[in-house]
Every structure is written in structure tokens, then in C-alpha cells.
């Protein structure tokens, strides 16, 4: 019995020393502790040329915290936002290759950099210089038009008499110039359309035959606040025409037309990207129903609006085909 008692006490003491590593649940300090900056917020290098370089930020905090780095181009108004939740900002969670979150694209310009914390009032500001702006694409892209050289007269088009299209300088999505499309038409849904024939694209080439690999990208500047009801008033439609028999003409009875349409329910520039395989076959499409981007003969952009709802606007810039992913992801 004595032995059993000793055994009992020994087992008790040995188990009492049982402790597990780590903690259960989130760290108390992260949830309720004060935020202290242990290492100052810094930008590695004061400037960068994003054709060859990248930038990143560093800082250390007293706790794991949600943080937000906002980089705003002072001239362009472009913005890049980097979000994170950690007690340290470093190259792995803050690498910036010059890409943009909110259009337009960055230019060669000075930027303001703000570090903020959604659940704290602290704000730290820095400045940064972009020597060379990032160029998008992986080398396989085809630019249809960026309107820097004006409107290509070979892009056949039609706009209602009360509506217009024009090239504007300044406040462009990319570089300096863009195409304005706007107006009011109280007798028809169509504000205007433009055809972009393949043989008049800015960059010539053949698109990849795999529809899973081909992306259509177009910058659109919306202004839904112009609608009387402060709601999306502009409807944008894209139509893609395939010349399946390669005879140089599109025959609606024997060849495919693919399309997609969406509300322009945002303000400012936005890059709209569609994978070719996601496009919808038009209801009266007469072709083989196979999506063949390499056989596109032209595409058409249409700006539509309810005749009863008044003014519509959807400016356009930087129309480009990309391969592998949407252009902003390259």
C-alpha cells in the first residue's frame, strides 16, 4: 500500500509539471494591448524604376494588428493599397512592383505613402518617387488602342445626334488621353457604338487559340452620380465577332458572335477584364459554338441607356488583350 501511495504521489507530481507550449485562442495583447511602433515605418529605397525594380516597406509593432499601406500618385491620383495583419511589415507582406489597385495607372511622379491601422488612430506618412512607371503585360499582350494618338478613323462607329464621342486630354486612365462617350437619347437605348476591326488594332498579331488563356481588358470611366436617381444609368456591352472560315467577313448565319454586358455602376476608372471562355454565345449566333479568339475579325463596344433615365457616360481607355491572366495581374 505504501508503494502505491508513493506511486500515486509521484504520478501526481509528474502530471502537475505537464504544460503545453503556445497559447489557446488569439493573443490578448493583439486584441486589447496598446499599439506601439517598435521599429519605424520605412520604405526601402526612396524611389524605384518599376520596369526593373520593386519596393517594399518595413516596420515592427508591439502586437499583431491590421494595417493598411496606401500609396497615392500625387499627379495621377492612382492608388495602390496593401493590406496586412501582422506585427511586422517586411518584404514578404509588402512587396510592391508598381502595380495599381485603383486606376488610373501610376505615372512618373511623386507619391504619398500612408500607413494606417483600421482599429487605431495612428497614421504614419512618407513620400516616394516613381522614376519609371510599371508597364503591364507579359510580352504577349496586344494593345487595341490607348487613344494617345487620337481616335483611329478606321474604327467605324455610330453615335446618336444628341450624344458624342471625343478625345480628351488629362485625367486619363492610362497616360494622358482617353475617349469620352456620353450623352442623352430619349428615343433609343443606344447612345453609340464603335467597331474595332482586327486589322486596325494598334498592335498587330494573332491571339492565342485557347479561350482559357485569352483575356480582354478595357478601362472604363463611369460616373453613376450623373444619373438623376443616382443609380447606374449606363449599360455597357461588348460583342466579339469570329470569322470562322477566315474569308475576311463575319456571316451571322454561319459564324459565332460572343457578348457580355454589365452596368457601369462605379465612379472613376476601372479595368474591366473578361476571360474569352467566359463570354456568352449570342442567342442568334450561327457558328460552331466554339470560342476561337484567334479567329476574331472585330469587336464592338456599345454604350446603352434607358431612354427614360437620361444622361449616360462611359469613357474608354487602354483596350488591350492579355494572355495568361488579366492585364492588371501582370
Partner 1 sequence: MKNLFKKIIFLLILLPILSFGQINQKVWYDGNSRAMFYRDALSGDLKDIDTTSTRSEGEGYTAIDLGMHFTPNDQIEIFSEIRVKNDFGYMWGSGAYVDLRRLSVRGILNDRISFNLGDMYLKQTPFTLNNFDQELLKHEPSVFQAYRDLINYENFYLDNYWRMQGLQTNFSYTFYNAINSFEADMFASRVRGVQWLGEPELLMLGGTSLIKLENSLVFAINHVNSFEVQSSSLDTATYYNPVTNLQLKYAKKINSLTYRLSLDFGGSIRGWEKNNGSTIFETSGGFVKAKLKAAAKNLKSSVSFRYVDPEFRSAGSQSRRVNYISSPSTYAYYTNNSILRPVSMLDITSDPNIYNHKLSTSLMQYNTLYSAISPYGEATPNRAGVDFLFDYKNDEGSVLAIADIAFFQEIIGQGTEEKRSMLSSGLSFTAHIDKITGLKNKTMFEASLNTEAVNRGGSELESISFNSLLLSAGLSYELFHNFKIISGIKSFSGKGNEVGAQRDEYDQIVGYELLDFDSKEDILMLGLQYNFTKDIYFSLQTNQIDIDDRTNEISKLSLSRIYFMFNMNL
In the complex, least distance from residue 8 CB atom to partner 1, rounded to whole angstroms: 5
Give the DSSP H/E element, type plus range, for residue 4. helix 2-16
CA distance 34 to 21: 25
User: Would you say 36 or 169 has its CB closer to partner 1?
Assistant: 36
- In the complex, least distance from residue 262 CB atom to partner 1, rounded to whole angstroms: 32
Binding site for partner 1 (CB under 8 A): 1, 4-5, 8, 11-12, 15-16, 18-29, 31-33
Alpha-carbon distances, residue 260 vs 73, 105, 158, 239, 301 (angstroms): 32, 25, 20, 7, 10
Contact 154, 197 (CB under 8 A): yes
- Considering the complex, state which of residue 13 and residue 289 has its C-beta at the smaller distance from partner 1: 13
Nearer to partner 1, 28 or 91 (CB): 28
Gap between the Cα atoms of 97 and 320, Å rounded: 20
Q: Are 264 and 314 in contact (CB under 8 A)?
A: yes
Taking the complex as a whole, how short is the minimal distance between the CB of residue 27 and partner 1, in angstroms? 6
Cis, bond preceding 104 (omega within 30 deg of 0) = yes
Q: Minimum CB separation from partner 1 for residue 32, in Å?
A: 6
CB 6, min distance to partner 1, A: 11
Q: Which is nearer to partner 1, 1 or 289 (CB)?
A: 1
- Nearest-approach distance from CB 243 to partner 1, in angstroms: 46
Residue closer to partner 1, measured from CB, 62 or 273: 62
**Spatial separation of the C-alpha atoms in residues 317 and 274, rounded to whole Å:** 16
Q: Which is nearer to partner 1, 17 or 225 (CB)?
A: 17
**Opening angle at CA 32, ends 29 and 35, nearest 5:** 75
Amino acid at each position: 500500500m505504501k508503494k502505491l501511495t508513493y506511486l500515486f504521489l509521484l504520478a501526481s507530481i509528474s502530471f502537475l509539471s505537464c504544460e503545453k507550449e503556445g497559447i489557446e485562442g488569439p493573443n490578448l495583447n493583439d486584441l486589447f494591448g496598446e499599439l506601439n511602433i517598435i521599429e519605424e515605418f520605412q520604405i526601402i529605397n526612396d524611389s524605384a524604376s518599376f520596369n526593373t525594380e520593386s519596393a517594399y516597406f518595413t516596420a515592427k509593432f508591439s502586437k499583431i494588428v491590421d494595417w493598411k499601406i496606401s500609396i497615392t500618385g500625387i499627379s495621377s491620383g492612382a492608388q495602390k493599397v496593401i493590406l496586412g495583419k501582422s506585427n511586422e511589415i517586411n518584404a514578404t507582406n509588402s512587396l510592391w512592383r508598381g502595380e495599381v489597385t485603383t486606376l488610373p495607372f501610376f505615372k512618373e511622379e511623386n507619391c504619398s505613402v500612408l500607413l494606417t491601422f483600421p482599429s487605431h488612430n495612428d497614421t504614419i506618412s512618407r513620400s516616394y518617387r516613381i522614376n519609371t512607371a510599371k508597364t503591364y503585360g507579359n510580352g504577349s499582350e496586344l494593345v487595341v488602342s490607348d487613344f494617345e494618338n487620337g481616335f483611329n478613323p478606321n474604327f467605324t462607329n455610330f453615335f446618336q445626334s444628341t450624344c458624342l464621342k471625343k478625345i480628351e486630354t488629362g485625367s486619363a486612365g492610362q497616360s494622358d488621353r482617353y475617349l469620352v462617350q456620353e450623352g442623352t437619347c430619349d428615343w433609343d437605348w443606344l447612345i453609340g457604338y464603335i467597331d474595332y476591326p482586327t486589322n486596325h488594332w494598334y498592335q498587330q498579331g494573332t491571339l492565342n487559340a485557347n479561350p482559357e488563356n485569352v483575356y480582354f481588358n478595357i478601362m472604363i470611366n463611369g460616373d453613376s452620380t450623373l444619373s438623376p436617381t443616382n443609380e447606374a444609368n449606363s449599360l455597357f456591352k461588348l460583342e466579339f465577332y469570329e470569322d470562322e472560315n477566315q474569308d475576311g467577313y463575319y456571316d451571322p448565319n454561319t459564324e459565332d458572335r460572343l457578348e457580355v454586358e454589365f452596368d457601369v455602376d462605379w465612379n472613376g476608372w476601372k479595368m474591366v477584364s473578361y476571360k474569352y471562355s467566359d463570354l456568352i454565345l449570342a442567342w442568334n449566333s450561327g457558328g460552331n459554338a466554339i470560342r476561337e479568339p484567334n479567329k476574331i475579325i472585330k469587336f464592338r463596344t456599345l454604350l446603352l441607356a434607358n431612354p427614360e433615365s437620361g444622361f449616360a457616360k462611359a469613357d474608354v481607355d487602354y483596350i488591350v488583350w492579355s494572355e495568361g491572366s488579366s492585364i492588371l495581374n501582370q
